[in-house]
Structure 1
Amino acid sequence: MIDETVQQIQDEQIQSASIVAVKAAEALNVLSNREYHTVEDFMRSLVRNSRTLRQANLSHAMLYTTQQRIIAKVNESDPETVAAAQERLQTVTQDVATEIESSREQAAEKAATLIDDGDVLLTHECSSTVIATLNNALESGKQFELYVTESRPQYLGRKMIRQFANRVGVDATLIVDGATGYYLSEVDRVFIGMNCLIDEVVYNHIGTYPLVATAASEEVPVTVVGSASKFIGSGFQFTNEFGLNSEVLREPAEGFNVGNPTYDATPTRLLETVVTDDGMMRF
């Protein structure tokens, strides 16, 4: 299961940072069913496999922080037997997964209060926390129009908009990435997810920065929504990922290069609000 999860992360089959962190935590549970001679053998295996999961994508800050927390929590319990260490691992990974799910829902509930009935909203890529935010608004009886960017080159917006196709209370439209400037004049608020927030910079799927910068120019408020655990302190160095040329071109790139970064950096000064399970910050 660990190798399969690593492959899924590397192939970006799991786009949401929160879901990546949950899947990686759950993958470690396979170690609870393996045989080890000593606690030390088990801990070495846990550390090695956790490192493998973290290295599957060096840009996923939440993956880094949750895996570090799992190791620390198991280690600090000072288990005396292999069975005790394995039981502790199961408990910790379940706690981590539950915390991630809970923090996402709490952030979504807070962010949904920013949506008024009849609003026109715009979002980019396919954030699970933004999806939860919009679902919260619908469940409270609000109706809204929704523009979703295609979010090339992986077309994450196509996955996003299918979550709201034919939903009562939503008039959903998929737009090409370059058309955000055209549609922003109609928009009341932009909602964006995040991979992580380091210092005063939000790292998120490529295309976020030009969208937010254009929204700021048009005086359309932008809200970033995500778990507070995506606020990263020391110990993590963000490393961008670059996609394959084949994501951009069907034919080989002959005589030229292809620039396909996965993430870009958006300064918080361009945002109106960042909403997490801990609360709401205004800029």
Structure 2
Amino acid sequence: MIDETVEEIEQMQTHSSSVVAVKAAAALRELTEGEYPTVEEFVVTLERNASALKRANPSHASLQNAQRDIVAAVKDADADSVAEAQDVLADAIDRVVDRIENAKGEAAKNGAEVFEDGMTVLTHDYSSTVLEAVELAARDGKHLDVYVTEARPRYLGRKTARVLAGVDRVEPHLIVDSAAGNFLAECDRVVTGMSCIVDDTLYNRVGTYPIAAAAGDVGVPMTVVGSGAKIIEGGFAFENEIRSPSEVMREPAEGFTVENPAYDATPTRLLDTVVTDEGVREF
């Protein structure tokens, strides 16, 4: 099952990092039911499987942190028996999954406070946390105009626009990525999700950096919303994903190379605020 989850995570290109982290954590439950000769061999097996899950998507900080915390909990427990170690593993998985899911919800609640009635915002790609924040703000009676970029090449912004179309008091507008600069002057704020923030760099869906740079040029503040677990002070080397050229064009590339990175790097100096489950951080 864990091998199947590794393969599934490798293909989960349209899911939020929190969904991926929860799925990876849940996959380790398989180890709570097996038989192992010693605690040491159980821990080695746990570490090997956790490493495989982390390698399945090295760009998702939530997944990396969740696996690290689960393994650390079992090792620190220094269990006297395999059964005890398996109980510790089960508890650690429950605790980590609850933390991820609760953090996402709290981040969305805090993010909802960013929106004011009558505000026009621009968002990029698909972030379930940002969507929840918008829905909470609308539920509180706020009317919002939202410009949504398509987020090529996978067009995840179209998914965002469809979700927003079903939210009362929200008027979504789908635009091509290159049109963001044309509409930013009409916006009060840019609001996006995040893959992670490492030191002074935001990593998010490719296209975020030019939007942030353009927003800064026209004086539109930018807010990033996401779990605090995605903010890392060193110790994590972000690895970009280079996707298949077929996502960009189906016909063969003859005489040229198709480059298709999944993420780009945005300096945090271009951000106004980062909103997490822990509160608001200003830049």
TM class, shorter-chain normalised?
over 0.9
For 2:268, the equivalent position in structure 1 comes to: 268
Instruction: Give TM-score, length-normalised by structure 1.
Output: 0.96
Contact 1:42–1:82 (Cα < 8 Å) also in 2: yes
Q: Which moved more, 1:244-253 or 1:160-169?
A: 160-169
Cα pair distance change 1:264/1:103, threshold 3 Å: same
Tell whether 2:278 aligns with 1:249: no
Q: Which moved more, 1:162-171 or 1:145-154?
A: 162-171
For 1:84, the equivalent position in structure 2 comes to: 84
Cα deviation, residue 84, structure 1: 1.5
Cα deviation, residue 14, structure 1: 4.7
For 1:232, the equivalent position in structure 2 comes to: 232
For 2:178, the equivalent position in structure 1 comes to: 178
Cα deviation, residue 31, structure 1: 1.3
Instruction: Give TM-score, length-normalised by structure 2.
Output: 0.96
Distance 1:84 1:160 in 2: 44
Cα deviation, residue 74, structure 1: 1.2
Which residues of 2 match residues 1-283 of structure 1 at below 5 A? 1-283=1-283
**Residues 144-167 of structure 1 deviation map (CA, whole Å, 9 limit, x = unaligned):** 111111111111112222222232
**Residues 104-146 of structure 1 deviation map (CA, whole Å, 9 limit, x = unaligned):** 1112211211111111111111112111211221221212111
Cα deviation, residue 264, structure 1: 0.5
Q: Which moved more, 1:6-15 or 1:58-67?
A: 6-15
Cα deviation, residue 192, structure 1: 1.0
Contact 2:198–2:234 (Cα < 8 Å) also in 1: no
SS in 1 for 2:147: strand
One-letter amino acid matched to 1:239: E
Cα pair distance change 1:162/1:33, threshold 3 Å: farther
SS in 1 for 2:146: strand
SS in 2 for 1:164: helix
Cα deviation, residue 5, structure 1: 2.2
One-letter amino acid matched to 2:226: G
Distance 1:167 1:274 in 2: 24
One-letter amino acid matched to 1:19: V
Contact 1:14–1:20 (Cα < 8 Å) also in 2: no
Distance 2:259 2:249 in 1: 11
4+ long deviations beyond 3 Å: none
**Residues 256-279 of structure 1 deviation map (CA, whole Å, 9 limit, x = unaligned):** 111111110101111111111121
Distance 2:15 2:27 in 1: 17
Question: Percent of pairs identical after alignment?
Answer: 51
One-letter amino acid matched to 2:105: E
Q: Which runs of 5+ in 1 are unaligned?
A: none
Cα deviation, residue 12, structure 1: 2.8
Contact 2:147–2:174 (Cα < 8 Å) also in 1: yes
Distance 1:169 1:140 in 2: 10
Contact 2:192–2:224 (Cα < 8 Å) also in 1: yes
One-letter amino acid matched to 1:111: G
Distance 2:166 2:135 in 1: 13
